[in-house]
Amino acid sequence: MTAPVPQVTRSLSRALAIVGACSLALSLAIAVWFPLVDPDEGRNAEVAAEMARDGDVVVPHLAGVPYLDKPPALFAAGALAIRAFGRAPWVPRLPAIAASLLVLWLLSRAAQRLTDEAHEWRTLALFACAPLVAVIAAYVIFDMPLTACVTVVWTGIAIECEQGPGRARRALMFTAVGVGILVKGPVMLAWALGGSLAAAVLTRESGPLRWLAWAPGWLLALGIPGAWFAAALQRHPEYLRYAFLEESLERLTRGSFDRNQPWWFVPAVFAGGALPWSLVTPWRGPASRPTRIAAGFVLFAAVFFTFSHSKLVTYLLPAFPALAWWAAEGWTRAKRPAWALAAVLAFTPLVLVAGSAMLREYAHTTSGDRLARAIAGAGPGALRYEDCYSPGTDFLLGRPSLVVSALGHPLTSNYAVRYRDTLRERGQWTLVEDPALAPPADFIIRERRREGTAPAGFREIFRDRRFVAWQRQAR
């Protein structure tokens, strides 16, 4: 009587495994073959490289200037990878890759405990084949590691509500909160508290909130990031104001970071980031308690980022594992044939293959790798950026450079721009205000749109849509 079920499960498993593996393989191929994209990837990779070189794991630096826009966890993980494997573009992407694989493992582990094999494979394939996930899986930014931390929390809540509390599991959940704070700051607390509250609303029970009452857990969640924060605050007392009032509260309540978006932004990201399954999934209200908990974290993300005045597409990435879990239940209840879902999910790997050349060319046009190759081919020497900066170029070259800028905007660091006078007073501002005050350089780099007159005694060696570079001529 039960014989047909294993056959269906095996067919589903094979189909989804093939499609999901293709999408994952293409994501890893992007990590290996694509250059680091400026400003985000190049900047974060160079911060990690400076941490690897200097060994300062408390205060990250960019171009020698303290970079306290984000906590140090991602940079520290990248620094370890760079020390182990060098400065290849795929190396600083290893923390994001590891986080992506961890998310898949967490979803598999939760599904094995709470549902069945069919739901497990559907969830894994749906998550791996979401276009946003496939592209961001190996991107050198904070959101995939944060996604892993959020997934530890909501899958832990789901298992606890079904199987009862456990100290080891709760310790892991609170540790994930602490690591998430060290990755991206107080927003991890918002995910943990807000997601738990939304899950309690959808389940109509207090179970999703009970883990928050475990007092020893808060020592784990706040103790480790608190120790780092105290050390950073001792060296930079102004960081208290910046971290809580400017970087956190101001982002939520004001548009001063120029990241405000229209009201339809969140549903557009959910729909576009999970195409095409976001549109063809037979969506229904969550039926099981674990799915209601997952849906609670999706609901929190929708509400929180709708009202936040700081929105980027990647900010919603931590909700995608829960969204995939919810969608998997919809496919299970609809009893669609295995090939139907596999055909839908084939969209992402097919698009990645078809568009790989275009995507790679776009990555090159926003990367510093071609500039780095031109300078490396021209020979050794000191670099000087004038009112511009390509951190990805510095990362690939592995040589010191000087940035000429009166205000510090080329660093794309809100902290550095806002507290440059304080940093100058401490002697921690390495930028030079005027080229006339800068020491001699062998290479000069400027923005193409503001290149001005070529420096006397230099010859042009590089030009693209962003930068122009000159090398000092031999006498």
Instruction: Summarize pLDDT for 443-474 with one digit per residue, the tens.
Output: 999 999 998 999 999 999 999 999 999 999 97
pLDDT of residue 344: 87
For the cut 80, the answer to whether the pLDDT of residue 248 exceeds it is: no
Give per-residue pLDDT as tens, 54-87.
999 999 999 999 999 999 999 999 999 999 999 9
Helical pair 167-184 and 215-235, crossing angle rounded to 10 deg: 20
Report whether pLDDT(332) > 50.
yes
398: alpha, beta or left? (left if phi > 0; alpha if psi -120 to 50):
left
* CB crowding 422-443: b at 16 or more within 10 Å, else e: ebeeeebbebbeeeeebeebbb
Amino acid 20: pLDDT:
63
Preceding omega of 95 cis (within 30 degrees of 0): no
Judge if 153 and 212 occupy the same domain: yes
Distances (CA, A) of 465 to 15, 17, 118, 364, 459: 44, 41, 49, 11, 18
- Report if residue 13 sits inside a domain: yes
232 and 301 fall within a common domain:
yes
Q: What is the mean pLDDT of residues 101-106?
A: 92
- Looking at residue 150, what is its pLDDT? 98
pLDDT on residue 321: 97
- Tell whether 439 and 383 lie within a shared domain: yes
How many domains in the chain?
2
pLDDT tens-place string over residues 215-228: 999 999 999 899 99
Is pLDDT above 80 for 257? Answer: no
The answer for residues whose C-beta is within 8 angstroms of residue 312's C-beta and 6 or more apart is 259
pLDDT band at residue 237, thresholds of 50, 70 and 90?
very high
340 vs 457, more confident: 457
84 part of a folded domain: no
**Secondary structure (DSSP) of 154-169:** HHHHHHHHHH---HHH
| Cβ pair 372, 397 in contact under 8 A | yes
Say if residue 317's pLDDT is above 50: yes
Q: Would residue 68 count as lying in a domain?
A: no
- Say whether pLDDT at 475 is over 70: no
Minimum mean pLDDT range among 9-23, 265-279, 337-351, 440-454: 9-23
Boundary (domain end) residue, out of 307, 327, 361: 361
Residue 410 predicted with pLDDT over 60: yes
Residues written for the chain:
475
Greater confidence (248 vs 317) lies with 317
Dihedral-angle region of residue 55 (phi above 0 means left; psi in -120 to 50 means alpha; beta otherwise): left
Closest CA to 301 of 159, 161, 151: 151
Q: 79 in a domain, yes or no? A: no
315 and 416 inside one domain? no
Report the share of the chain in percent with pLDDT over 90. 74
354 and 384 together in one domain: no
Assess whether 317 and 464 both reside in one domain: no
Provide the residue range defining the domain that includes 248: 4-35+89-361
Residue 4 has pLDDT above 60, yes or no: no
Q: Tokens 């890759």: give the residue.
A: 97
From 313, 329, 361, the end of a domain falls on 361
Q: Residues 226, 250: one domain?
A: yes
470 beta partners: 444, 460
In this structure, the number of other CB atoms found within 10 A of the CB of residue 175 comes to: 16
Inform me whether the pLDDT recorded for 249 exceeds 80: no
pLDDT at position 246 is 82
Q: What is the mean pLDDT of residues 290-307?
A: 96
- Specify if 271 maps to a domain: yes
Chosen domain end from 361, 388, 419? 361
- Evaluated on CA atoms 305, 306, 307, 312, the torsion sign reads positive
379 and 436: one domain? yes
